[in-house]
Amino acid sequence: MLPIHSGLHVQIPPIKTQGIKTKLIPVIASSIRWQGAGRWIEPFLGSGSVAFNLKPARAILSDTNRHIIEFYLRLQAEKITPSSVRQHLEREGALLRQEGEHYYRVRQRFNDSHDPLDFLFLNRACFNGVMRFNRSGNYNVPFCRKPNRFRPAYITKVVNQVAWVTQVIRTRDWTFRVADWQTVMAEATAADFVYLDPPYVGRHTDYYDSWSEHDADTLASYLQRTTTGFAYSMWQENQYRRNRHLDRFAGYPLVNFDHYYHVGPTETLRNKMVEAIIISPGHASLPVLACQCH
């Protein structure tokens, strides 16, 4: 069994990303069989919601988005604290209430200096929780047009999320790294377990860098050769079409479930979708049975 507390209480991390898996964590946790002898590896960390809630003792957590990794590295090193987050959001939120254009000043400042606290501010004040960067690597999401966004209760909510994540990080042997999935997967052993939540092929995926069908096929080919146990998240179908990419995993145990996306740049990307988790127990894990959840 996955070595987590049986009374899993799901919490939300401070960073928001498209496709965040917070509501799916109970399904993910109950679907994976792993002894926990090695390391939990996530090559597509995103918000970090899965790792923070499952709390493995040892982990390698990576992403190509250096701003996400830098934020969590600062928490780990105690260079960002709940107190400093509160002070930053209170100060910038007060300026935002005076003038909505302050959002764009912070955005320009972040693109110049890459301050992790500005990154958090933008992430919580941008349009519909979208995280998007242009080809030059600059954050380019517009303002959500809510100048009163950072009210005391909202700031406290974010600060509490930071405090929770900080406590988890500091009590575990975790390595955060800016790296692509190939680099990280090259370190995986049979005792490890890998959770992969890559950008969804066939959908809007430019949250930080590009992800093509070729990239997805390369990853699928790698997974079919690895001896490391893994769980691979991917969309299966919506009301319009089925994801044929999953045909590559025919014969693998599969867990599927309905999910509704509330974060996305347009309404057409915020519909109900059937999600899938492809599971391979690997050589160091117990067998898992496919199931269907709704």
Instruction: Tell me the pLDDT tens digit for each residue of 176-209.
Output: 999 999 999 999 999 999 999 998 775 544 555 6
Q: pLDDT tens for residues 124-172?
A: 999 988 899 998 999 999 999 999 999 999 999 999 999 999 999 999 9
What pTM was computed for the model?
0.87
pLDDT at 140: 95
Q: What is the mean pLDDT of residues 46-54?
A: 95
Q: pLDDT tens for residues 128-140?
A: 888 999 989 999 9
Which is more confidently placed, 200 or 259? Answer: 200
Residue 110 near residue 150 (C-beta atoms within 8 A): no
Asked if pLDDT for residue 57 goes beyond 60, the answer is yes
| 251 DSSP 8-state letter | T
Residue 159 near residue 75 (C-beta atoms within 8 A): no
pLDDT at 256: 85
Task: In whole angstroms, give the CA distance from residue 263 to residue 207.
Answer: 12
102 band by pLDDT with thresholds 50, 70 and 90 = very high
Burial of 11 (0-12, 13-18, 19+ CB in 10 A): middle
pLDDT at 19: 72
Q: Which domains does the chain have, with CATH numbers?
A: 22-64+179-292 (3.40.50.150), 81-167 (1.10.1020.10)
Which helix (H) or strand (E) covers residue 30, if one does? Answer: helix 25-31
Mean confidence (pLDDT) of the chain: 87
pLDDT at 240: 77
